[in-house]
Amino acid sequence: MHESPAFNPQIYAQRRQRLAQSLQPGSVALIPTAPERIRNRDCHYPYRPDSYFYYLTGFTEPNAWLALDAQGHSLLFCQPKDIEREIWDGYRLGPEAAPARLGVDEAASIDQLGARLSALLENRSAVYYPFATHEGLAARVEQWLEAVRARARYGASVPTAQHDVCALLDEMRLVKDAHETATIARACRISAAAHVRAMQRSAQLLAAGEDAREYHLEAELLHVFRQHGAQFPAYSSIVAAGPNACVLHYRAGDAPLRSGELVLIDAGCELDGYASDITRTFPADGRFTGPQRDLYDLVLASQSAALAATAPGARFTAPHDAAVRTLTQGMLDLGLLDANQVGTLDDAIENRAYFPFYMHRTGHWMGMDVHDCGSYNEEGGEPGEAGESERRDPLSGEVIRNRPSRILRPGMVLTIEPGIYVRPASGVPEVFHHIGIRIEDDALITDSGHTLLTREVPVAASEIEALMRA
């Protein structure tokens, strides 16, 4: 299913040039990768590079930095070749091979970082680096600037401004290029296959009378992810049986799968640095009960309404508003909300009467990070629009500043994930108690609308039942 394409340094060189063109003339940008993290004692967590650094270099080794100036000259700092350490920790590219392999202009040993950066910052107009993302980074930059200031008697000048490079990179990363959308699509196909396998395994275990637990299905997901080349789960997999589905960020545990109950799986793999994100809810034994089907069809209808509003030129909030309207009407129809208490549909929406059953938004950006970077409002790229206002939240009482939300454009990728979560409460019909349902797909905005990347796993209730019977 997956074969990683050959590494293409030109992709990353083009991104570096785009960033360089956005820098203030005479400035320099510094981007470190992520540090290695100790899990316990002398064992590390599996290593993953920083997303911003990887986006600009494609380099996956730890202990590395990128320096880029406004003229587009790139300098990579990386670990030097060390035969003894490579015996223990694995192959290192090394600064000698890095320019040819990665397409950077120059490379140096990480041991030279302090001295080279102090010299590089001399007589620059400004320095860019990621704000509030790497512990201690601002202090290190200050140390290098102090070293520059100490050379003032020799004519050295210090950058007079510091800028958050994430503000520029977030805008770049929000609209995906062809390489990115192809990688995300491959990740989505792998994740869809994993969900299919988990659904079928649930039905098989219960039909055979075997012990069936959440972690059994999590194991199926991980098996498919790795079998097809994905390096990691994109996030901690949610496998929630029965009432656990009403916990939004529940993690797969040891709760049993039971006939007559639902299972909610929210899981996706990360492939070559890019995430996927799928949620499906299905009957553990392969057959929906009447109340389960009523709520499931409502959530699916709300997702269909949200998808109808997902198109270039629409606001980011349009899918959420469409989903909320469909969900709230369904809650009134099914008796989850009492019109005598909440009023009309518009009243219920205005006062957020739906909130006890639907408390999250309908989507988020997706890319290198499963909750990807990029502004959700006009400050991130729709300047000059009128319409900013303030309102008081009817539930919390807090003052919220309304800004026009982001306009969807081709190349953006977002999730569409409405849900409903019914906990026992006074006035809530008992037949719906402990039912949690979410349906999530990943949508790529296109010139004409959108493309769903995750529909290789079924979503209609009848198709899920047929799949599980098979």
Catalytic residue among 277, 372, 378, 465: 277
Catalytic residue among 48, 360, 361, 434: 360
- The yes-or-no answer on residue 42 being catalytic is yes
- The yes-or-no answer on residue 346 being catalytic is no
**Residues written for the chain:** 470
Catalytic residue among 69, 285, 440, 442: 440
- The yes-or-no answer on residue 364 being catalytic is yes
Catalytic residue among 417, 441, 442, 465: 417
- The yes-or-no answer on residue 249 being catalytic is yes
Catalytic residue among 3, 39, 41, 42: 42
Residue 87, number of CB atoms within 10 A of its CB: 8
Question: Does residue 437 contact residue 321 with C-beta atoms inside 8 Å?
Answer: no
Distance between CA 16 and CA 129 in Å, rounded? 14
3-class state of residue 162 by DSSP: strand
- The yes-or-no answer on residue 228 being catalytic is no
Q: Give the start-end residues of each E strand in 354-411.
A: 389-392, 399-402
Measured CA distances, 400 to 206, 359, 390 (Å): 48, 17, 6
Query: Could you write out the DSSP letters of every residue in 93-157?
Result: --TTTHHHHH--SEEEEGGGHHHHHHHHTTT-SEEEE-TTSSTTHHHHHHHHHHHHHTTGGGT--
Distance between CA 258 and CA 214 in Å, rounded? 10
Q: What angle do CA 195, 367, 225 make, to 5 degrees?
A: 30
Q: DSSP class of residue 337?
A: S
Measured CA distances, 233 to 179, 188, 200 (Å): 20, 12, 20
Residue 36, number of CB atoms within 10 A of its CB: 13
- The yes-or-no answer on residue 277 being catalytic is yes
Catalytic residue among 92, 195, 364, 450: 364
Q: DSSP class of residue 412?
A: -
Distance between CA 311 and CA 451 in Å, rounded? 10
Q: Give the start-end residues of each E strand in 249-373.
A: 262-267, 269-271, 274-275, 278-283
Q: Is 427 left (phi over 0), alpha (psi -120 to 50) or beta?
A: left
Catalytic residue among 438, 441, 442, 465: 438
Residue 347, number of CB atoms within 10 A of its CB: 12
- The yes-or-no answer on residue 266 being catalytic is yes
- The yes-or-no answer on residue 421 being catalytic is yes
Catalytic residue among 228, 421, 450, 465: 421
Catalytic residue among 39, 41, 153, 249: 249
What residues are labeled active site?
A: 42, 249, 266, 277, 360, 364, 371, 417, 421, 438, 440
